[in-house]
Structure 1
């Protein structure tokens, strides 16, 4: 999957769940078998390996599968 200048390489069992989300939600990916705790760990690992700092405005929920997302600031953004 390509999104802006970001390329994501994901395991084969991950799927696009965007049809389950409202309106202008950015394109998400999910593995229906991941638990909320697993997703929290993945978000933390993602941020740490990219030196993003701590996630702000973390959102968790469940539609067709569990999801977690966070906001990261860059510089004075």
Structure 2
């Protein structure tokens, strides 16, 4: 009985048909052509200077310009 009730929920019906917003139908022409900012940039490991902990960073640069700074996933 409970499974019959749950299966009638609109969200469950969408998920079963694959219309959950994660497929190609959720992309517009503009978003299909987007690329990450650091695409083609050089990644250089660094250390955050703001406190004494020394968290690892990855600094992305391209053509002498800073593109992005992210936390280093390999840093403890």
Bin for the TM-score computed over the shorter chain = under 0.3
- Which of structures 1 and 2 has the bigger CA Rg? 2
RCO greater where, 1 or 2, for CA within 8 Å and sep 6 or more? 1
| Greater percentage in strand | 2
Q: Normalization by structure 2: what TM-score?
A: 0.21
| Greater percentage in helix | 2
